[in-house]
Amino acid sequence: MHEVLGRLGLDRDARVTLRDPGDDRALVRVNSPATGRAIAWVRLDDAAAYQRAARGSVAAFARWRGVPAPARGQVVRAIGEAFRAHKDDLGALVSLEVGKILPEGRGEIQEIVDIADFAVGLSRQLPGQVFPSERAGHRLVEQWLPLGPVGVISAFNFPAAVWAWNAMLAAVCGDSVLWKPSLLAPLTAIACNRLASDVAAKMGYVWQTPEGTAEIFGLVIGRDDVVGQALVDDARVPLISATGSTRMGRVVGQRVAARLGRSLLELGGNNALIVTPSADLALAVPSIVFGAVGTAGQRCTSTRRLIVHASIADEVCARVVRAYGQVMGRIGDPLAPGTLVGPLIGAAAVAGFERAVALAVEQGGKVLVGGAKVTAGGELAGGHFVQPTVIRVPTGTTLAIAQEETFAPILYVMEYQTLAEAVAINNSVGAGLSSAVFTNSLLEAEAFMAPDGSGSDCGLANVNCGTSGAEIGGAFGGEKETGGGRESGSDSWKAYMRRCTSAVNASGKMELAQGIRFE
């Protein structure tokens, strides 16, 4: 047993077993992507367990909604403090379970702390508006009211932060949360959800009902056909926030729409970074490498396409290849100090990487660096490691594979002549999540962010910042096949509430619409 499981109490959790149960399909095996070996086994929820959890979430909402928003904020504040205290162990668990290097694992838990801080402030600022009425002695009042239980479906690559972006905002808005995590990362979900639930319970926010315990933060772990579809189809859950592939989002969006529910979709990204002739390459190159290599290319905001002006393409490629050379010797155990690149999540991801590289070469691309699996020894012999890869696209051509999102550290380098051409390449893919331009030209920067929408068509458009590393304060999300949802900062909280407009008559008279009079 890895010691972090004991420190977080996972070895004592009723869902978790550390001994091989054999062929018991009621449990899912959780593997370390760095070793390929089992970390633990987790018991799956069946249909009856889902119904119990859903009823508990409904019952919790009925009580939690009546708690004043600033008091709800104090619960979230305490949750943030608890995650701050357990940051190192939870970060190590993220690294163990999904293969992020340790600084990234800890950084993910810091995002929970950050969104909790944001939500605490929001709890005292949830606004309403008063509008002037056309009728004397009347006013129009707009209120934002708690919505209901919120379903959260998260992916393996951010097994904790995405839940928190939703859960902390939903909690201060007066909603309960029902979380279905990826089956590739259930241990992180158990640890995080239990920590939040324990804090709420200690503050008195857990309720015993005739049907069982009602908690603000609920958790269901199960297969899509048993738990996932039940959650998505459940009319008691007015909002489904789902993070994952575009394919998954299409299914979820259609099923939720069929019952006229709301969906918040955070889906794929095939993100591009443009480098103009005026760019400061000392800024651009580290951002390119971090964006393409970080989390082994398994972020939705990973840099996948590099669009470089033809006049500097050779120089940029040479600098990027040199930088990759420093990375190649630091692929390995994500928990070890000094590691820069951990494993892909599993064998299927490695196969996807190999397929993409082979197709890119077949379609005319040239591998500048990387392009192969990494065979590790010792404890890591069963791990799923690959080389970060740069593939140059021949001038004047395109690669069909570059139009797809491959969840792996592959960077395609393309050339352009005019900024309009670069923006068109940026916008040519189905997804529209993140984008960036490196330039010292104000005119180029403004064209990229054009107020008429003719620049980048992505939800995130950065200038002299890379495609990865979004901050809590801004709304996070994208357009087109990315799904259109927004999480985290700005006014993303509106997704977790319902709007109510009220007309208030204090005139003592009844003025009917359209001037109608009844004698």
Catalytic residues: 266, 300
Nearest residue to 399 via CA among 352, 361, 368: 361
Cβ proximity of 140 and 133 under 8 Å: yes
The SS3 of residue 361 is: helix
What totals of helices (H) and strands (E) does the chain contain, helices first?
14, 26
Q: For residue 474, give the DSSP letter.
A: S
The SS3 of residue 145 is: strand
- What sign has the CA pseudo-torsion 30, 32, 36, 39? negative
- Angle formed at CA 261 by CA 258 and CA 263, multiple of 5 degrees: 100
Structure tokens at 407: 């969840």
Cβ proximity of 393 and 414 under 8 Å: yes
Distance, in Å, from the CA atom of 229 to the CA atom of 502, rounded to the nearest integer, reads: 36
Cβ proximity of 130 and 141 under 8 Å: yes
Distance, in Å, from the CA atom of 446 to the CA atom of 428, rounded to the nearest integer, reads: 20
For 205, other C-beta atoms within 10 Å of its C-beta total 21
Nearest residue to 304 via CA among 202, 430, 180, 184: 430
- What sign has the CA pseudo-torsion 324, 326, 327, 332? positive
Which residue has 């949360």 as its token pair? 177
Q: What's the alpha-carbon Rg for the chain, to the nearest Å?
A: 25
Distance, in Å, from the CA atom of 33 to the CA atom of 347, rounded to the nearest integer, reads: 9
Cα dihedral 377/378/384/385 (nearest 10): -40
Cα(first)–Cα(last) distance of the chain, in Å?
A: 83
Distance, in Å, from the CA atom of 26 to the CA atom of 45, rounded to the nearest integer, reads: 8
Nearest residue to 42 via CA among 223, 230, 233: 223
The length of the chain in residues reads: 519
Q: For the residues of 128-141, what is the DSSP string, one character each?
A: -EEEE-SSTTEEEE
Cα dihedral 255/257/263/269 (nearest 10): 70
